[in-house]
Amino acid sequence: MRTVRSDEIEKLQRRVIACRLCPRLVRYCRQVAREKRRMYRGEEYWGRPVPSFGDPEAELLVVGLAPAAHGGNRTGRMFTGDRSGDFLYRALYEAGFANQPWSRHRGDGLALKNCYITAALRCAPPKNKPLPGELRNCQRYLERELELLKNVRAVLALGRIAFESYLRALYQPRANHASRAAARLTAATLPARRKVNLPLPPRSALKFSHGASYDLGNGLPRLFASYHPSQQNTQTGRLTPEMLREVLQAIQRYLRGSSL
Ligand code: SF4
């Protein structure tokens, strides 16, 4: 059933797709889409910012790093069409957050259950390395999602950059820093539960490590952390299926109200 909230989320994602705030990334995504990897030569690449994906009523918000050049930037859906996506969606499926364990293309029937996937950055960065200014630019969309996704009770940050980006959206929303235009945008978009201005835990107490989880108080979602399921992490065994499964099981227990 369509709701005002799902309409707002769709509107936001249309703005994301049309966004051109980071010229370096816009150029790079288009270049990758033009040149293509040999094995995808016959495919039409997406080549633009990649919208978030999932259930607007979700209790779990997953924050990734950025689309991969030949993954999300090719298929137009978060974590779709590469090994990171295969790894993540299998784990989400096994934990009950997805209806199937694979993710090939936008029309493959994948649906998330009680889960919504976003990213710190919505354009693929060269060498997977975003610049600080690009992360700051893209933070506005994460802040707006935190405002719109009203049922979120758990946030899973995949990797240190996602972890820092989520905390920056809470501790340093763009309204404190930005131009008048950005301030106009963010005045309406700060995460609702932060507007009450209750103290957050000291920022220095929140450190990224795989398996960590934090209660931020103030009615904010509990924050969970995992290594990012990048090929580098999964192929070297830094992140195994078992390790990600354990984090997702802890989230399920938390959402069901059982002890962690
Ligand atoms: S990274 Fe984000 S802010 Fe930058 S162009 Fe892409 S969508 Fe826009």
Q: Ligand 1 center to residue 138 CA distance, Å? A: 5
Is residue 74 within 8 Å of residue 81, measured between CB atoms?
A: yes
Q: How confident is the model at residue 199 (pLDDT cuts 50, 70, 90)?
A: confident
Q: Ligand 1 center to residue 215 CA distance, Å? A: 30
> Would you state the pLDDT for residue 218?
83
Q: How confident is the model at residue 245 (pLDDT cuts 50, 70, 90)?
A: very high
Is residue 114 within 8 Å of residue 59, measured between CB atoms?
A: yes
Q: How confident is the model at residue 184 (pLDDT cuts 50, 70, 90)?
A: very low
Assign 226 to helix, strand or coil: strand
Residue 131: how many other CB atoms lie within 10 Å: 14
CA–CA separation, 127 and 112 (whole Å): 28
CA–CA separation, 58 and 69 (whole Å): 27
Whether the pLDDT of residue 220 is over 50: the answer is yes
> Would you state the pLDDT for residue 175?
56
> Would you state the pLDDT for residue 243?
98
> Would you state the pLDDT for residue 238?
98
The beta strand positions in 199-251, using DSSP E, are: 213-214, 222-226
Q: Ligand 1 center to residue 227 CA distance, Å? A: 23
Ligand 1 environment, Cβ below 6 A: 16, 19-22, 25-26, 49, 121-123, 134, 137-138
Q: Ligand 1 center to residue 256 CA distance, Å? A: 35
> Would you state the pLDDT for residue 198?
65
Q: Name 112's bridge partners.
A: 98
Reported as half-sphere exposure (CB side, CA atoms, 13 A), residue 22 has a value of 27
Domains parsed from the chain with CATH numbers: 6-255 (3.40.470.10)
Q: How confident is the model at residue 221 (pLDDT cuts 50, 70, 90)?
A: very high
pLDDT mean over 113-120: 98
Q: How confident is the model at residue 3 (pLDDT cuts 50, 70, 90)?
A: confident
Q: Ligand 1 center to residue 102 CA distance, Å? A: 27
Q: Ligand 1 center to residue 114 CA distance, Å? A: 26
> Would you state the pLDDT for residue 258?
74
CA–CA separation, 98 and 115 (whole Å): 8
> What atom in ligand 1 is closest to the CA of residue 20?
5
Express as a percent the part of the chain with pLDDT over 90.
84
Residue whose CA lies nearest to ligand 1 atom number 6: 123
> What atom in ligand 1 is closest to the CA of residue 26?
5
Is residue 33 within 8 Å of residue 87, measured between CB atoms?
A: no
Amino acid 121 reads: L
Residue whose CA lies nearest to ligand 1 atom number 3: 138
On the 0-12 / 13-18 / 19+ scale of CB atoms within 10 A, 207 is exposed
Low-confidence winner among 133-142, 184-193, 201-210, 246-255 (lowest mean pLDDT): 184-193
21-72 pLDDT, tens digit each: 999 999 999 999 999 999 999 999 999 999 999 999 999 999 999 999 999 9
Residue whose CA lies nearest to ligand 1 atom number 4: 22
Which of 12, 27, 78, 123 has the most ligand 1 atoms within 8 A of CB, as the residue to mutate? 123
On the 0-12 / 13-18 / 19+ scale of CB atoms within 10 A, 39 is exposed
Q: Ligand 1 center to residue 74 CA distance, Å? A: 16
> Would you state the pLDDT for residue 189?
43
> Would you state the pLDDT for residue 1?
64
